[in-house]
Amino acid sequence: MSTLKYLASLTNNQEFLSRRPRILIVDDQVINIQTLYQIFADDHEVFMATSGQKALEFCRQTPPDLLLLDVMMPDMDGLEVCKRLKQEELTADIPVLFVTAQNDAEEESRALMAGGMDFISKPVNPDVVRARVKTQITLKLQHDLLKQLVFTDPLTGLANRRSFDNSYDKEWRHCQRYSKSVAILMIDIDCFKQYNDHYGHQQGDVCLSAVAACLDANFRRPHDVVARYGGEEFICIMSECELSAAVSKAEALLEAIIAQAIPHITSRVRDIVTLSIGVAATVPGNQQDKAALIAAADEKLYAAKQAGRNQVGA
């Protein structure tokens, strides 16, 4: 699938089209919140916070598409709120529009230096604020789509190799910090060359997508990551997971794929699509190389295939 076609498929997604943009209004004066709420309530999901600390907590839990942020607040001013948002990975991409009664070049400069995208003066002009918010939300949605494109495998919709590398580095450091086990599952579709030779590459793509959807549906913990590793190989990170639990998950995946009953009459294993899975786990130490864990899982995958496929090596 071409880049343009894939981007179009994302923008044509019904959830994308139907979702109303989420705006967080932050002001210690309720009357100012009410004014902005009336401007945006019809076309946006509007949320409110009356302090900088409440705004930070809201953004960390449910990041909005845009902040309308007052500069002058008693507990923590808007400039400090914006700086803190930009320092955190989860909230750094939220566009901030400062709303303030101050209207001078120095104030505007400080707002932009803090990370703000625009500067709106009180009392707000409804047409002006609507236009500026629309511009920033459009840019934000385009950024989100492009980010999804960069980190998503276009065929299966799973995380791609780049996304996996980023997630693995983060989860490795997390488990290292808290002395928790991290597990890797290396997954391969059995006899996939024979599948492509018999059914054709287009049907092979359909098979890959079906297997990917099945794998993805069987991971529900927020820190588990399923990615396409290359060709017919997939890889899974299970953070804070012992080897025994990872093996149980791998065995459940074998059963889940069998339950799909995808025909594969040229397989040397069964007449349906099956998987081989290699599992390895470790508690990361300061001197350990995280690539070694992937290599260990790959060795276990090779052993599972040598032992007859359609099984878990651990």
| Among 151, 208, 148, CA closest to 7 | 148
Collect all residues with Cβ–Cβ distance below 8 Å to 200 and sequence separation of at least 6: none
- Residue 1's pLDDT band (cuts 50, 70, 90): very low
Percent above pLDDT 90 for the chain: 72
User: Which range among 65-74, 138-147, 192-201, 215-224 shows the weakest confidence by mean pLDDT?
Assistant: 138-147
Q: Which residue stretches of the chain are H helix?
A: 3-11, 14-18, 30-40, 52-61, 78-87, 105-113, 126-151, 161-178, 192-199, 201-217, 243-260, 290-306
Helix (H/G/I), strand (E/B), else coil: 58: helix
Q: Is 5 a residue whose pLDDT tops 70?
A: no
Overall pTM > 0.85: no
Judge contact between 294 and 184, C-beta under 8 A: yes
Query: Is 233 designated active site?
Result: no
Quick one: pLDDT at residue 113?
84
Looking at 80, 232, 233, 251, which residue is catalytic? Answer: 232
Q: Average pLDDT of 249-257?
A: 97
* More confident of the two residues 289 and 192: 192
Quickly state the pLDDT bin for 60 (edges 50, 70, 90): very high
